[in-house]
Structure 1
Amino acid sequence: MSRLIHFNLFEMNCVGHIQHGLWTHPDNNRHRYTDLNYWTDLAKLLERGLFDAVFLADVVGAYDRYRGGPETAIREAVQIPANDPLLVVPAMAAVTRHLGFAVTFSTTYEPPFSHARRMSTLDHLTKGRVAWNVVTSYLRSAARNFGLDDEIEHDLRYEIAEEYLEVVYKLWEGSWEDDAVVRDRERAVYTDPAKVHAIDHDGKHFRVAGPHLSEPSPQRTPVIYQAGNSERGKDFAARHAEAIFTGAPSLEALREEIADIRRRAAAHGRDPDHVKVFPGASVIVARTQQEVDAKLADLRRHIRPEGFLAQRGSGIDLAAYPPDELIDDIVARGGDFTERAVRPLVGRGLRVRDVLESVGAIGRGPFFVAGTPQHVADEIERWADETGASGFNLMQYLSPGTAEDFIELVVPELQRRGRYRTEYTDTTLRERLLGPGIHRLPGTHPGAAFRHAETTWPTRKNPSGS
């Protein structure tokens, strides 16, 4: 029997998430992101469509490298304004029974103790439907928002993240024993103090005494998502992540990426099948090809290249150059390019208009499909089968129109082929991903080493990180 293909909806608590300029489309409701009904309606829609989860991205700074400041990002609504992703989860959970919620939170700027309590609270309120997308934050403006002069160096951010995870694993997995809560009315004992433990973590970056303030939640540790692309990020993901959001320039590259991640996971002593990979997917679907073509043309009229350039942090002010000027000529004269932006453009004979037309263009990349339900389902099956991907994070063009079209037209087609669930059969998000009965971290996961035992875990003094 062919394996089921999983789907998350990739979202953000803001106006302009990924498809910049499309907030101007008359059928887009993204401006309603401050309205609680927007989120509860979206949650009910996704549960009706049997989605695994809504995956909420986040940033804690503004994109301010393009043209030397944040003005373009602010004007174009490039992930600003943006609200907290965690705060919409309880409302969405209240109107659903099965939908999962993956929320993004950085390990770099805020301490682990309070975050551990927030995530335990969400896991309780959702009855075990929460995941944490672990990020280390890379925006210079984010660092300045938290009192630093500049962003923390890349590998140091991951060193901090390693210790951050150690702290929260101790709080979630080891601070409270499974039977600590007794609720003995006769003796007036709610919790047995002998079964609640301080963690006394004294490390290089954090000192946390504990105990954890929350009693054990259904999953204890939320499902761990991650999206690192560097060598350090990939190793971090292979060590900790249960679901990985990634991308690749081709199906072949993704297949190799997934094989590499699973090899790394096995090297860390984990079961490679406990690491699920979700590339982003863009889908435009309609009942006829004529309707598909009309949708594409309509969306393309609203795309704003400058929004994409601002998000990339390129510093390229392409509007200042004639459309037919060669990029190589601009670079040779010392044009306003950052090294990161210019590297992939040099030596390709590109003109300014070529770059502008390609930036943010709808219809590019290996995981884009526009067509009838049958054609879209064919492509999704091919992507999954040729790469080994567990599923996909569906990108929205219009909200909620993209999800509505997918649920109305593609989901039934995938169900007919036996590739998409016809009902929810699990109780927690981890069980949905890893299999029946797996509600808490598997024993091979590094977090499981911090479960309370007769002999407590060793406390690291000034760890170097790995």
Structure 2
Amino acid sequence: MSTQPLHFNLFTMNAVEHVSPGTWTIPGDQSHRYTDRDYWTSVARTAERGGLDAIFFADVRGIYDVYEGNRDPAIERAIQTPSNVPQALVPAMAEVTDHVGFAVTRSTSYTHPYQLARELSTLDHVTDGRIAFNIVTSYLESAARNLGLEGRIEHDERYDRADEFMDVCYRLWEDSWEDDAIVRDANPGTYTDPEKVHAIDFEGEYFSVPGPHGCEPSPQRTPVLYQAGSSDRGRRFAASNAEAVFVSQPTKEATRAYVEDMRERATAAGRDPESIKFFPGIVVITGETEALARETHETYRDHVSVEGTLSLLSGFMDTDLSTLDPDQPVEHIETDAIQGAINAFTKNDPDREWTVGEVARFAGLGSTSPVLVGSPEQVVDELEDWRDEVGIHGFNLKEVTRPGTLQKFVDLVVPVLRERGLIRTSYEGSTLRENLHGQRQLAADHPARRE
């Protein structure tokens, strides 16, 4: 049984809705304030007060248009539309906090590694080392078209490109500038020693980058690396690159199987499997008593948009769920969208057969993640059981109401976690990686650090 404290991220999006469609209609919900700077700075302060590791921002580049073959349901129901870029919020949130980190989702399919490396180095500088990079390869066909492509890049090729993309970034972040390249010597007027700044001369199938990096080393050099690969190819990529893995599975059994598989893959990739932290997504619905929590849960369920949920899942799965009977079982298919969304209800939990209707009802609050309902003590009991039974390190907290989900977690659940020694009472380090892994730089066995 583990005695390690748990880690928590708030999983959110710079949008009206994220993964609980329709809940913006709940009285008192403030999701419409996603364009309000004061909303986000308040969220940052609350997350830091609760000792959370990071605010984890999802992002998409397109509009969900698979359900019923058009985009109108997603636009009408605010399914991750409208949305703004996440990284623009970071400086404002960092200004009002000292410790909480910021995980920014960026796509390796629709940006250039030199550009992204420079942007994330800059954010790591201005936050004093509190930036993480959630590596995604993008799954929406509409995003590909919006960015000038004829169609979405095939699933496995997206990961081939991502492998090369990260190789470029690693060479820029880790190899281009030596630690003591900056000398700031006014006499004879040398700011940087050019002998300690190196080109990377990268030539690959997708990218040609001579370098050197345009930024001096930031506090963490390489930002903390998150990934959520769930397909076979995605898991292989995560096992090689991720320091923290976001797990999207609906049950403990499926999550445990995923974690065990990933640890085996990390070992095969030459990494210490204990160097990877696992964060299942979770929805926490709590109140001062169990009865109040269950009453709140029923209220939330009444506001879930079934059409919105099916629109979201159709985009995840690249399958128009409007064409399927609600009683029809969900069958495994190979898809160029989020393979893990299909796997979560098919391959990863083979002892249960899910129908389309069951998936829609389950996924209305938090998509593919389990929902915990109970008093603060009951919630903490369950979170501790997940750590001990499944072998995970923390959770990505999925929102139902905003900022209510975070506020209730911090005000009601965190005090119980602290009483039991299950969450920090103060931050251990000055950077996100120090707070998460106990060190400022990447582990020595990470591929970015190997000679």
TM-score (structure 1 length as normaliser): 0.88
Residues 1:396 and 2:396 are matched in the alignment? no
Q: Which runs of 5+ in 2 are unaligned?
A: 332-338, 347-351
Structure 2 match to 1:461? none
Which of these two proteins has the greater Rg computed from alpha carbons? 1
Instruction: Choose from 415, 434, 437 the match for 1:412.
Output: 415
Distance 1:69 1:276, change over 3 A: same
* Alpha-carbon shift at residue 199 of structure 1 (Å): 1.1
Structure 1 match to 2:373? 370
Q: Give the counterpart letter for 2:159 in structure 1.
A: Y
* Alpha-carbon shift at residue 8 of structure 1 (Å): 0.3
Residue aligned with 2:270, SS: coil
Instruction: Choose from 320, 338, 355 the match for 1:315.
Output: 320
* Alpha-carbon shift at residue 168 of structure 1 (Å): 0.5
Paired with 1:69 and 1:412, the residues of 2 have a C-alpha distance of 46
Paired with 2:11 and 2:367, the residues of 1 have a C-alpha distance of 18
Residues 1:3 and 2:4 are matched in the alignment? yes
Of the structure 1 ranges 262-271 and 87-96, higher mean CA displacement relative to structure 2 is found in 262-271
Paired with 1:433 and 1:350, the residues of 2 have a C-alpha distance of 36
Deviations 1:409-431 (A, max 9, x none): 11111111111111112111111
Paired with 1:350 and 1:133, the residues of 2 have a C-alpha distance of 29
Residue aligned with 1:197, SS: coil
Q: Which runs of 5+ in 1 are unaligned?
A: 332-338, 451-466
* Alpha-carbon shift at residue 186 of structure 1 (Å): 2.1
Residues 1:215 and 2:216 are matched in the alignment? yes
Question: Could you tell me whether the CA contact under 8 Å between 2:366 and 2:400 is conserved in 1?
Answer: no
Paired with 2:135 and 2:171, the residues of 1 have a C-alpha distance of 17
Deviations 1:146-204 (A, max 9, x none): 21111111111000000000001111111111100001122211101111111111111
Paired with 1:448 and 1:351, the residues of 2 have a C-alpha distance of 46
Structure 2 match to 1:459? none
CA RMSD of aligned residues (A): 2.4
Structure 2 match to 1:428? 431
Structure 1 match to 2:137? 136
Question: Could you tell me whether the CA contact under 8 Å between 1:308 and 1:359 is conserved in 2?
Answer: no
Q: Matches of residues 222-233 of structure 1 in structure 2 within 5 Å?
A: 222-233=223-234
Paired with 1:179 and 1:54, the residues of 2 have a C-alpha distance of 32
Equivalent pairs, count: 431
Residue aligned with 1:152, SS: coil
Question: Could you tell me whether the CA contact under 8 Å between 1:183 and 1:190 is conserved in 2?
Answer: yes
Question: Could you tell me whether the CA contact under 8 Å between 2:104 and 2:133 is conserved in 1?
Answer: yes
Paired with 1:259 and 1:398, the residues of 2 have a C-alpha distance of 33
Question: Could you tell me whether the CA contact under 8 Å between 2:19 and 2:367 is conserved in 1?
Answer: no
Distance 1:71 1:366, change over 3 A: closer
Paired with 1:254 and 1:295, the residues of 2 have a C-alpha distance of 27
Residue aligned with 1:8, SS: strand
Paired with 2:54 and 2:418, the residues of 1 have a C-alpha distance of 18
Paired with 1:91 and 1:2, the residues of 2 have a C-alpha distance of 35
Residue aligned with 2:109, SS: coil
* Alpha-carbon shift at residue 26 of structure 1 (Å): 2.1
Equivalent pairs: percent with the same residue? 49
* Alpha-carbon shift at residue 362 of structure 1 (Å): 4.5
TM-score (structure 2 length as normaliser): 0.91
Paired with 1:200 and 1:446, the residues of 2 have a C-alpha distance of 18
Q: Matches of residues 20-419 of structure 1 in structure 2 within 5 Å?
A: 20-313=21-314, 314-317=319-322, 327=328, 354-355=357-358, 358=361, 360-362=363-365, 367-419=370-422
Residue aligned with 2:246, SS: strand
Paired with 2:420 and 2:27, the residues of 1 have a C-alpha distance of 35
Q: Give the counterpart letter for 1:315 in structure 2.
A: D
Paired with 1:355 and 1:417, the residues of 2 have a C-alpha distance of 36
Deviations 1:231-290 (A, max 9, x none): 110011010000000122421222222122112112111111110000001111111122
Paired with 1:428 and 1:80, the residues of 2 have a C-alpha distance of 32
Residue aligned with 2:303, SS: coil
Distance 1:160 1:181, change over 3 A: same
